[in-house]
A and B are shown apart, each in its own frame.
Chain A
Amino acid sequence: MYQFVRFAAVRASLAIFTLVLVSFIVFSLMELVPGDCAERYLAFKNSQGAQISIADIEAERVRLGLDKPYIQRWGTWIINAFQGEFGDSCILRLNISQLLGQKIWLSVGICLASLLVAYMIAVPVGIIAATSRNPYLNNGLRLVSYLGLALPNFLLALMIMLFSTVMFGDSLTGLFSKEYRDADWSYDRVMDFLSHVWLPVFILGWSATAFAIQTVRALMSDEISKLYVTAAAARGVSGSRLLLRYPARHALSPIINSLGFDLNRIFNELPIVALILTLTEAGSLLIESLARSNDQQLAGAIIFFLTGSIVAINFITDILLAVIDPRIRHSIMG
């Protein structure tokens, strides 16, 4: 038990170290972009018609603390970041934490829900596909999988929107209906949210499901043909007990391993899908802040959040693997 706690502690500190390293990279990338926050803001003011001088820019720099050394500014940024405080948005002059607020949780929630749906479908379907000899089922699944892998998410989103607009006159965009957009959370708002959120979850989960089915099927076929399964059958183990206790259980470790990878993929796909479906979540805000307003403070905060979730899920899968697989447990306990 002591060794397990130590293992978890080591993994946790490694995860935090990774996060610090990532924050450094994110911060450096923000620095590499020509111009700084002061210039950008005053340029924005200028475009609104205000007269500005070099002295104004310098004064703004001092006010924002941009005259301090790079490493010191990163230090302040990372310490604040870990406290959930990211300063103000460069252009909007609004507190980033307030700006992101529930949006970031909506994004993380949508991604995790997609992942959950994907694996809840993929694990049983993959197991059935691996054990079935029915050619129709297998070829049908292969077709669905190839479609899932080949069809870009944004195209799928556009097609569904087109279909829905033509057939039902509803483009299915957004996460809330108009009347609930800025309302407080209530039962009705939750129901309204659920009636909208299934579409992005479905679109994001679609390719992840296709991918996961292939993974699960390949792993299961591999395990089923192993000698220990034949040996268990020879001992009289049969039916679903033979399937679940033996190959399925042993195929689980690599499947858990692929969770982190899949979450990463879903995160990458989220901003484009969000843009098309005009979702008011953090992914579309990221595109907005990066591409349109060049708001590095905001973009940095979002990227930090997203990598943070990926580091977190990788930490969780590490711990899960050690709990499930005695060989891994053995290697850490020595």
Chain B
Amino acid sequence: MTLLDVKNLTLQFDTDEGRITAVDDVSFEINPGEVLGLVGESGSGKSVTAKSLMHLNPPNAVYSPESSITLNLEDQSVDVLSLRQGSQDMQIVRGGSISMIFQEPMASFAPAITIGDQMVEQLVLHKAISEKEAMKISVEMLERVGISDPSERFNQYAFELSGGMRQRAMIAMALSTRPKLLIADEPTTALDVTIQAQVIDLMKDLVTDFNMGIIFITHDLGVIAQTADRVAVMYLGKLVEQGPVRNVIRDPAHPYTQGLLNALPKLEDLDAPLTPVPGDIPSPLERPPGCVFHTRCSAVEDRCSLSVPEMKALDRKRSAACFVAADQRGAA
């Protein structure tokens, strides 16, 4: 059974300039114990997608009627988008069965509340345990993620810890309630490379230990190659390619994925010029008609600006939304 099912997720924001489409007909699923990498440039809708999984988007977010997000737990299925703020089931989703960690660990801890207080608060909210037990679990979790002097750190504030330490504490807090799914929104982007590797190793360990699903959001394909089982590539609110991580990275089907991989600096040839994806990501107010990527695509054809390519299953267990790729690889 899948853990989380996202179907036809379409999300628009009501703003003064009109309705802005942030996520456009996105479908994906995630299984227990699986790491799904969600990749794309800034503004591609990765974070907004992640936030809708916990119904965390601001009140001006409008979901289309076809959108559905289903969380399959052992004893029940929760329809996330129908949850009301503050309801009992919302509690199950937020911080109970799904936890989220953010890009900036400093900004995601409340500055004037101790780390321990915030951990205990989450545990007491979700588990039928006393504060004392919650304290014990929190200190154990801090120790588990490799924080030295956990009982001392427990009483400290986020600003008293180093960057890597803060992200470890964040992970400890997120996992303390034993969630089924962890959403990691660029968890390593703000860390330097050595700390980044430590944190990624830690997260991989914990997935195996806890048998969780993880959605790992990043713009860094190198990190994805190391961590994810499957990868989903987003561009301007659309899912453009999805498949097993090795297949997608070794042999990308969608021109956008190809562009992203080409854009990576190559360590073996330092003189090679950088090859960015040409052009800029268009303003969400002026979404291109047809395939959203056709304004920057190197393989663009006339039909691309006329109709929207559907997500089609291709070779090697992967699917892509591209007319050209479907013709070349013979869509099933």
Contacts and interface: CB of A to CB of B under 8 A. Distances in A.
Interface of A: 133, 226-228, 230-239, 245-246, 249-250, 324-327, 330
A234 B95 contact: yes
Interface string B107-134: 1111111100010011001100000000
A126 B113 CA distance: 23
Nearest to B157: A326
B96 A231 contact: no
Taking each of A232, A234, A245, A327, which has the highest tally of chain B beta carbons within 10 Å of its own beta carbon?
A234
B160 A227 contact: no
Interface stretch (B83-91, B289-297, B303-311): B83-91
B112 A231 contact: no
B95 A236 contact: yes
Interface of B: 51, 54, 56, 59, 85-86, 90-91, 94-96, 99-100, 102, 104, 107-114, 118, 121-122, 125-126, 157, 159-160, 173
Contacts of B111: 228, 250, 326-327
A161 to B, nearest CB: 44
Given A227-B108, A238-B91, 11 more contacts: A227-B107, A235-B95, A235-B99, A235-B122, A237-B95, A237-B121, A245-B113, A325-B112, A326-B157, A327-B111, A327-B157
Nearest to B103: A227
A228 B107 contact: yes
Contact of B109 (A228, A233, A324, A327): A228
Contacts of B102: 227, 230-231
Given A228-B107, A233-B56, A238 B112 contact: no
Contacts of B173: 235
A238 B88 CA distance: 11
A236 B126 contact: yes
B110 A228 contact: yes
A234 B99 contact: yes
Contacts of B110: 228, 232, 245-246, 249-250
Contacts of B122: 235-237
26 contacts: A133-B59, A226-B107, A227-B102, A227-B104, A227-B107, A227-B108, A228-B107, A230-B56, A232-B110, A233-B56, A233-B94, A234-B56, A234-B95, A235-B94, A235-B95, A235-B118, A235-B125, A235-B173, A238-B85, A238-B94, A249-B112, A249-B113, A324-B112, A326-B114, A326-B157, A327-B112
Nearest to B183: A234
Contacts of A237: 95, 121-122, 125
Nearest to A235: B95
Contacts of A330: 157, 159-160
Nearest to B60: A133
Contacts of A230: 51, 56, 102, 108
Nearest to B50: A234
Contacts of B107: 226-228
B152 to A, nearest CB: 15
Contacts of A232: 110, 118
B125 A236 contact: yes
A237 B160 CA distance: 24
Contacts of B54: 234
Nearest to A247: B110
A238 B90 contact: yes
B110 to A, nearest CB: 5
B125 A231 contact: no
B126 to A, nearest CB: 6
B104 to A, nearest CB: 6
Contacts of B126: 236
A236 B96 contact: yes
A330 B91 CA distance: 34
A17 to B, nearest CB: 30
A327 B160 CA distance: 9
Contacts of B125: 235-237
A234 B94 contact: yes
A321 to B, nearest CB: 11
A288 B99 CA distance: 67
Contact of A326 (B85, B95, B100, B112): B112
Nearest to A234: B100
A133 B90 CA distance: 22
A236 B86 CA distance: 8
B169 to A, nearest CB: 12
A230 B50 CA distance: 13
A231 B100 contact: yes
Contacts of B118: 232, 235
A158 B121 CA distance: 53
B162 to A, nearest CB: 15
A250 B157 CA distance: 14
Contacts of B159: 327, 330
A174 B59 CA distance: 51
Closest CB pairs A-B (n = 7): A236-B95, A235-B95, A231-B108, A227-B107, A236-B94, A235-B122, A238-B86
Taking each of A228, A245, A250, which has the highest tally of chain B beta carbons within 10 Å of its own beta carbon?
A228
A180 B176 CA distance: 67
A330 to B, nearest CB: 7
Contacts of B95: 234-237
Contacts of B160: 330
B303 to A, nearest CB: 41
B249 to A, nearest CB: 30
A179 to B, nearest CB: 53
Taking each of B96, B104, B118, B159, which has the highest tally of chain A beta carbons within 10 Å of its own beta carbon?
B118
A269 to B, nearest CB: 33
Nearest to A236: B95
A287 to B, nearest CB: 44
B94 A228 contact: no
Contacts of A250: 110-112
B199 to A, nearest CB: 17
